[in-house]
Amino acid sequence: MPFNTGPFIEGFSGRPAINVYTPDDTQNFALGAKYTTWDGREYRYAKAGAAITVTDLAVKFYAKQAVACAALSAAAQNGDNILSVTVGAGDGVAANGAVAENEYQGGHVVVYVNSASTSFMRRIEWNTKVAAGGGAMTFGIEQPITAALSTSDNCEILSNIYSDVRTSQDTFRTNAGKPNCTATSGQFMWIQRGGTSWMSPAAAVGATAFSANLVFRDDGSVDLHSSTDASTLADAQRAGYVLANANSTSVSQGAPFIYLQLE
């Protein structure tokens, strides 16, 4: 892969080894690369798919399934680490069949071995270019396959989930993490997914005894799982927990600092 994949771990120096508070105009790390500070904060490298103008709301994954269920276009032998599939005319990030070279790098493929009624998944290391309208695509996987495959077997491809993150209220998308800086569309940035943090909270967060479990609301803010909207948030994505609740009714939210748990 052309970029460093990490993981990057900060030493106990008091000064971060990587600046997570400034966006990059050019890509410096593999999308999805992980950086962990000595105090346990965890970050992933991502690409902004649209302008990100606020930093206290979570951004969401906008990367999607890039190749629908399709038959392998060539047989593969046990031990191979290169597979082929025909990209459909409606597949691809732009849904027009076009795929850029290495666009799916860091994405994942699931292969359905129909003769054995089983499946397996691999990370994608590289892929060939496909012109608009779809066509044959060859791609490399992280580790060799362990059984022979035929053109009767199928696969589906998910593009790299960190290749497109956006601020959004789309309730069908999941939250990727907290941005630490604003960014324009196409810039690269580190988003926080674990450790001590602060995000825009609902009023009850940090102010309710025995209530620490946090989930994301539709806009990327955080709320108690047991909030007044409990029926709406019943299956909401978990964000983490409150680090310190208020110690009396005369004290409001406390901060409230939270501990993100997206890793």
What tens digit of pLDDT does each residue of 6-18 get?
667 655 555 567 8
Domain count, the chain: 3
Q: Assess whether 144 and 71 both reside in one domain.
A: yes
Q: What are phi and psi of 34, to 5 degrees?
A: -110, 140
Query: What DSSP state is assigned to residue 29?
Result: B
Helices (H) and strands (E) in the chain, counts: 1, 17
Q: Assess whether 96 and 147 both reside in one domain.
A: yes
Residuewise pLDDT in 10s, the chain (263 residues)? 466 666 676 555 555 678 999 999 999 999 999 999 888 999 999 999 999 999 999 999 998 889 999 999 999 999 999 999 999 999 998 899 999 999 999 999 999 999 888 999 999 999 999 999 999 999 999 999 999 999 999 999 999 999 999 999 999 999 999 999 999 999 999 999 999 999 999 888 888 778 889 999 999 999 998 876 766 788 899 999 998 777 655 555 556 899 999 99
Residue 205, in any domain of the structure: no
Facing residues of 109 across strands? 122, 157
Q: Assess whether 243 and 176 both reside in one domain.
A: no
Asked whether the CA dihedral 111, 112, 117, 119 is positive or negative, the reply is positive
Residue 261, Cα to own-chain centre: how many angstroms?
14
Distance in angstroms (rounded) separating the CA atoms of residues 81 and 16? 37
Residue 176, in any domain of the structure: yes
Q: What are phi and psi of 204, to 5 degrees?
A: -80, -15
Distance in angstroms (rounded) separating the CA atoms of residues 226 and 57? 20
Residue 15, in any domain of the structure: yes
Q: Which of 177, 206, 173 is nearest to 192 (CA)?
A: 177
Q: Assess whether 114 and 151 both reside in one domain.
A: yes
pLDDT tens-digit map of 198-218: 999 988 888 877 888 999 999
